[in-house]
Amino acid sequence: MRRLSWFNTVSLTLGFAFLYIPMLILIVYSFNGGKLVTVWSGFSTKWYGELFRNEAFLDAAWVTLKVAVVSSTIATVLGTMAAYVMVRAGRFRGRTLFSGMIYAPLVMPEVITGLSLLLLFIAIGLDRGVLTIVLAHTTFSMCYVSVVVSSRLVTFDQSLEEAALDLGCTGFEAFRLVTLPIIAPAVISGWLLAFTLSLDDLVIASFTSGPSSTTLPIKIFSAVRLGVSPEINALSTIMITLVAVGVIGASLSSKRTIAKRAKDEQEAIQ
Amino acid sequence: MSDAAIATAPAEFAPWEDAQATPLIRFQNVTKRFGDFTAIDNLTIDIYEREFFALLGPSGCGKTTMMRMLGGFETQTEGTILIDGQDVAPVPPNKRAVNMMFQSYALFPHLSVAENIAFGLKRDKMPKDQIAARVDEMLNLVQLGKFANRKPHQISGGQRQRVALARSLAKAPKLLLLDEPLGALDKKLRQDTQFELMDIQETTGTTFVIVTHDQEEAMTVASRIAVMDHGKIIQVDTPAKIYEEPGSVYVADFIGDVNLIEGSVTKSGDDHATISWAEGQQDLIGIAHDEIPAGTRATLAIRPEKVNISTERPADMTNIIHGKVLDIAYLGNMSTYVIETPTGQHIKAQAANTRRIRRRAITWEQEVWLSFTDTAGVVLTS
Residue-wise pLDDT tens digits, B333-360 = 888 999 999 888 899 999 888 777 665 6
Contact B155 A268 (CB under 8 A): yes
Assess contact for A224 and A232: CB atoms under 8 A.
yes
- The confidence band for A267, taking pLDDT boundaries of 50, 70 and 90, is low
pLDDT of residue B358: 60
Q: Report chain A residues whose CB lies below 8 A from the CB of B120.
A: 167-168
Domain boundary among B249, B270, B297: B249
A185 to chain B, any CB pair closer than 8 A? The answer is no
pLDDT of residue B10: 46
- The confidence band for A122, taking pLDDT boundaries of 50, 70 and 90, is very high
The number of C-alpha atoms within 13 Å of B26 and in the hemisphere containing its C-beta is 12
Domain match, B268 and B241 both: no
Give the lowest-confidence range in A29-33, A35-39, B48-52, B282-286.
A35-39
Tell me which CATH code domain A11-239 carries.
Answer: 1.10.3720.10
CA angle A232, A238, A242 (to 5 degrees): 145
> Whole-angstrom Cα distance, residue B125 to residue B259?
57
Residue B121 domain flag: no
Domain match, B87 and B232 both: yes
Q: What is the ipTM of this complex?
A: 0.81
Domain match, B43 and B187 both: yes
Look at residue B76 and tell me whether its pLDDT is greater than 60: yes
Look at residue A2 and tell me whether its pLDDT is greater than 80: no
Domain match, B183 and B219 both: yes
Domain match, B369 and B280 both: yes
Contact A265 B153 (CB under 8 A): yes
Assess contact for B321 and B369: CB atoms under 8 A.
yes
Q: Report chain B residues whose CB lies below 8 A from the CB of A170.
A: 94
Q: Report chain A residues whose CB lies below 8 A from the CB of B110.
A: 181-182
Write down the mean pLDDT value for chain A.
87
Domain match, B78 and B197 both: yes
Contact B102 A265 (CB under 8 A): no
Question: Tens digit of pLDDT for each residue in A39-81?
Answer: 888 888 888 888 888 888 888 888 999 999 999 999 999 999 9
pLDDT, greater one: B105 or A228: B105
Look at residue B6 and tell me whether its pLDDT is greater than 70: no
pLDDT of residue B3: 47
Look at residue B1 and tell me whether its pLDDT is greater than 60: no
Contact B123 A178 (CB under 8 A): no
Domain match, B59 and B190 both: yes
DSSP B346-364: EEEEEEE--S-GGG----T
pLDDT of residue B114: 95
Domain count, chain B: 2
Domain match, B276 and B311 both: yes
A97 to chain B, any CB pair closer than 8 A? The answer is no
Please state, for a pLDDT cut of 90, what percent of chain A lies above it.
39
> Whole-angstrom Cα distance, residue B320 to residue A84?
67
Of the candidates B100, B96, B101, B119, the residue with the CA atom closest to the CA atom of residue B109: B119
The domain that holds B370 is classified in CATH as: 2.40.50.140
Domain match, B265 and B301 both: yes
pLDDT of residue B135: 95
- Stretch A80-108: mean pLDDT: 83
Write down the mean pLDDT value for chain B.
88
Assess contact for B369 and B322: CB atoms under 8 A.
yes
Q: Output the CA–CA distances (angstroms, integers) from residue B123 to A140, B128, B164, in the order listed.
A: 39, 12, 17
Contact B102 A162 (CB under 8 A): yes
Domain match, B185 and B323 both: no
Question: Tens digit of pLDDT for each residue in B166-185?
Answer: 999 999 999 999 998 887 78
pLDDT of residue A212: 79
Domain match, B295 and B347 both: yes
- Signed CA dihedral, A5, A7, A8, A12: sign only: positive
Domain match, B72 and B212 both: yes
pLDDT of residue B54: 94
pLDDT of residue A142: 92
- Stretch B7-24: mean pLDDT: 74
> Whole-angstrom Cα distance, residue A166 to residue A254?
33
Question: Tens digit of pLDDT for each residue in B119-131?
Answer: 999 998 899 999 9
Look at residue B4 and tell me whether its pLDDT is greater than 50: no
In one-letter notation, the amino acid at residue A197 is L
pLDDT, greater one: A262 or B119: B119
Contact B106 A163 (CB under 8 A): yes
Question: Tens digit of pLDDT for each residue in A158-180?
Answer: 899 999 999 999 989 999 999 99
The domain that holds B240 is classified in CATH as: 3.40.50.300
Residue B81 domain flag: yes
Residue B128 domain flag: no
Tell me the three state secondary structure of residue B264: strand
Q: Which of B103, B104, B109 sits opposite A182 (nearest CB)?
A: B109
- The confidence band for B196, taking pLDDT boundaries of 50, 70 and 90, is confident
> Whole-angstrom Cα distance, residue B88 to residue B86?
6
Q: Output the CA–CA distances (angstroms, integers) from residue B21 to A25, B16, B48, B74, B267, in the order listed.
A: 88, 7, 8, 28, 39
In one-letter notation, the amino acid at residue A90 is G
- The confidence band for A203, taking pLDDT boundaries of 50, 70 and 90, is very high
Look at residue B223 and tell me whether its pLDDT is greater than 60: yes
Residue of A nearest to B106 (CA): A160
Contact A163 B100 (CB under 8 A): yes
pLDDT of residue B78: 93
DSSP A158-211: HHHHHHHHHTT--HHHHIIIIIHHHHHHHHHHHHHHHHHHHHH--HHHHHH--T
pLDDT, greater one: A207 or B184: A207
> Whole-angstrom Cα distance, residue B382 to residue B370?
25
Residue B123 domain flag: no
Residue of B nearest to A263 (CA): B154
- The confidence band for B280, taking pLDDT boundaries of 50, 70 and 90, is confident
pLDDT of residue A1: 66
Assess contact for B182 and B161: CB atoms under 8 A.
yes
pLDDT of residue B5: 47
Beta strands B297-302 and B334-340, pairing class: unpaired
pLDDT of residue A70: 96
Question: Tens digit of pLDDT for each residue in A144-157?
Answer: 999 999 999 988 88
pLDDT of residue B360: 64
Residues A264, A179, B143, B150, Cα dihedral to 10° = 30
pLDDT of residue B359: 59
Question: Which range of residues forms the domain containing residue B180?
Answer: 2-97+173-249
Assess contact for B170 and B121: CB atoms under 8 A.
yes
Annotated domain spans of chain A: 11-239
Closest-CA distance, A185 to chain B, in angstroms, reads: 12
Domain boundary among B249, B269, B284: B249
Domain boundary among B249, B284, B313: B249
- Stretch B72-101: mean pLDDT: 92
Residue of B nearest to A163 (CA): B106
Question: Tens digit of pLDDT for each residue in B18-47?
Answer: 888 889 999 999 999 998 899 999 999 999
Contact A182 B106 (CB under 8 A): no
What distance lies between CA B196 and its chain's CA centroid? 17
